């Protein structure tokens, strides 16, 4: 058995879980998430626990077993406490400004970049620290938005300028040295 897949997912109080017609719905204080697990993986809900089992020991079933369990665990965690990613803007003149759901970024280009936050994700800007905080219930969506914002100006290794994750360490390179 899979070490990850065999563990049950505990459903805390205040979270509603429903599994009908191959669609798993998880509702909680932070929102509502849906998952359609692979049809060959069995999902059972009993006594405030969700268990995932597989029909055989094939490679496909083994990989889907752990994956499905972790996706369900991420959903339960997301609707109870949510997920958060923090981005930092490093560079002279690099700024972020939030008006409604539209984020305006000045990243050293000749024009400002406008980014609209998708539904289910909230953005918060701390202007003095040049930080962008991305929060939401869906772990995949929060990570995707953070990755998209980082890709607008990835950090470069010489001066360290760009958009980086707060926990990211940029390995710096030495610049040019004098010729002869």
Contact indicator for 145, 139 with CB cutoff of 8 Å: no
Q: Mean pLDDT, to the nearest integer, of 25-31?
A: 94
Q: Please give the backbone phi and psi of residue 82, each rounded to the nearest 5 degrees, phi first.
A: 80, 175
* Cα dist from 119 to 12, 39, 122, 124, 162, whole Å: 25, 28, 8, 14, 26
Q: How far, in Å, CA of 138 to CA of 122, rounded?
A: 11
Reply yes or no on whether the pLDDT at 180 is more than 70.
no
- Kindly report the average pLDDT of the chain as a whole number: 93
Task: Give the separation between CA 150 and CA 135, rounded to whole angstroms.
Answer: 15
- In whole angstroms, what is the distance from residue 115 CA to residue 96 CA? 10
DSSP class of 8: P
Phi, psi of 145 (to 5 degrees): -65, -45
The mean pLDDT of 56-81, rounded to a whole number, is 93
Counting Cβ atoms within 10 Å, is residue 63 exposed (0-12), middle (13-18) or buried (19+)? middle
The H or E element containing residue 142 is helix 139-151
Helix (H, G, I), strand (E, B) or coil at 147: helix
Residue 136 pLDDT level (bands cut at 50, 70, 90)? very high
Task: Please tell me the pTM assigned to this model.
Answer: 0.89
pLDDT band at 179 (very low <50, low <70, confident <90, very high): low
DSSP 163: E
Q: How far apart are CA 105 and CA 89, in angstroms?
A: 10
Give the model's pLDDT for residue 176. 84
Partner residues linked to 96 by β-bridges:
105
Domains, in order of start, for the chain:
9-80 (3.90.930.12), 83-165 (3.90.930.12)
Coil vs helix vs strand at 165: strand
């Amino acid at each position: 058995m899979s070490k990850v897949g065999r563990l049950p997912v505990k459903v805390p109080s205040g979270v509603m879980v429903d599994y009908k017609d191959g669609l798993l719905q998880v509702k909680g204080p932070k929102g509502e998430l849906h998952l359609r697990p692979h049809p060959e993986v069995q999902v059972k809900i009993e006594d405030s626990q969700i268990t995932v089992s597989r029909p055989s020991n094939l490679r496909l079933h083994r990989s889907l077993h752990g994956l499905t369990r972790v996706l369900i665990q991420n959903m339960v965690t997301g609707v109870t406490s949510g997920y958060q990613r923090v981005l930092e803007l490093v560079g002279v003149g690099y700024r972020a400004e939030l008006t409604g759901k539209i984020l305006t970024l000045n990243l050293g280009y000749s024009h400002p970049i406008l980014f609209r936050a998708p539904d289910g994700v909230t953005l918060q800007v701390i202007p003095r620290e040049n930080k962008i905080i991305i929060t939401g219930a869906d772990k995949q969506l929060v990570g995707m938005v953070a990755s998209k914002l980082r890709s607008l100006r990835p950090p470069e290794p010489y001066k360290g300028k760009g958009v980086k994750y707060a926990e990211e360490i940029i390995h710096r390179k030495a610049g040019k040295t004098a010729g002869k």
